[in-house]
Amino acid sequence: MFKKILLPTDGSDLSVFATRAAVGLAKSQDAQVVGVYVIDPFPYIGIGDASAIGLQAYLTEAKAAAGVALDAARMACAAEGVPFAGDTIERNVIYEGIIETAEAENCDLIVMGSHGRQGVKALILGSVAQKVLTHAKVPVLIVKS
């Protein structure tokens, strides 16, 4: 039924639960897992040399975190014999990066974690998972901790 499963990851404990679900589902479907780590572009708008140094430090740290998160997903897939491909992208809006990746990679399912916030917290904080669920053109499996 599913052949390519997109796994957005941020390296959090919550994404570990989503990784387990994605890998198990992929194994049962003989599917591939496509991991994606979306880096939010440098949040600081500054002037002069300090801005360039801050940008470089931020990107170095973000890319290192992305590598760790994607390596964890890669190892989980390898342990179960599931094919894996992963990439790091930069987008201003994280949920749009996830959806764009799902479309570009021809994924037929997105598996991602959610904190499951409700009420005012969900309204104020928003949720990447909620936005992906609302805007994705493919099915979305939300894994709660």
CATH number for 4-144: choose from 3.40.630.30, 1.25.10.10, 3.40.50.720, 3.40.50.620.
Answer: 3.40.50.620
Asked whether the beta carbons of 99 and 131 are under 8 A apart, the reply is no
- Residue among 47, 66, 76, 57 at smallest CA distance from 8: 66
Digit-coded pLDDT (tens) for 23-75: 999 999 999 999 999 998 766 666 555 566 677 888 889 999 999 999 999 99
Has residue 124 got a pLDDT over 80?
A: no
Has residue 100 got a pLDDT over 80?
A: yes
Give dist(CA 6, CA 117) in Å, integer: 23
pLDDT at 39: 93
| Average model confidence (pLDDT) across the chain | 88
Give dist(CA 16, CA 22) in Å, integer: 10
DSSP-derived letter for residue 61 is H
What does 67-89 look like in DSSP terms, one character per residue?
HHHHHHHHHHHHHHT--EEEEEE
- Residue among 34, 6, 26, 22 at smallest CA distance from 81: 26
Give dist(CA 108, CA 55) in Å, integer: 35
By residue count, the chain amounts to: 145
Q: What is the CA radius of gyration of the chain?
A: 16
DSSP-derived letter for residue 105 is T
Task: Record the pTM.
Answer: 0.88
Rounded to the nearest angstrom, the gap between the alpha carbon of residue 31 and the centroid of all alpha carbons in its chain is 18
pLDDT at 117: 54
pLDDT at 52: 65
Please state, as a whole number, how many other Cβ atoms lie within 10 Å of the Cβ of residue 33.
26
Has residue 118 got a pLDDT over 90?
A: no
